A = this chain, B = another copy of it.
Amino acid sequence: MQNIDIDMKVKLIHGFSNKTRIQILECIKNQEKTVSQIVEEISGNQSNISQHLACLKGCGIIVGRNEGKYSYYSLRNQHIRDLLTMFDTVLGDVQNDVACCDRHID
């Protein structure tokens, strides 16, 4: 694992480290959806969601396709789905600790 790989790994993980992005991923975990469906389901702001979708897509976490005036987004593949599931597993282990951790660096 070279340095270049670490940078990419961090970038990848960063894709998952935001509440809105996690909500989007949960939202499309089992089926592709349009931007407006996502916006509605997570009660988000269109511009904001669109930016996060671009981020997730740019990081290779999701894929998008256009059909007419709609854009459909879905998880890139099963590995991403597995990763989301694994987050839940790990969360179960650490839940109490995370609950009482309200800082990230100091």
Contact = CB atoms under 8 A, between A and B. Distances in A.
Interface string A7-32: 11111111111110011001000000
A2 to B, nearest CB: 12
Interface of A: 1, 5-19, 22-23, 26, 51-52, 54-55, 58-61, 76-77, 79-80, 82-83, 86-91, 93-101, 103-106
Q: Can you tell how many copies of this chain the complex includes?
A: 2
A60 to B, nearest CB: 3
Most chain B beta-carbon contacts within 10 A, residue among A7, A10, A14, A98: A98
Nearest to A4: B99
Given A26-B1, A58-B103, A79 B83 contact: no
B17 A17 contact: yes
A7 B91 CA distance: 11
26 contacts: A1-B88, A8-B91, A8-B95, A8-B99, A9-B91, A10-B17, A10-B22, A11-B101, A14-B104, A17-B17, A54-B106, A55-B103, A55-B104, A55-B105, A58-B100, A59-B94, A59-B104, A60-B96, A60-B97, A60-B98, A61-B94, A79-B89, A79-B93, A80-B93, A83-B86, A86-B86
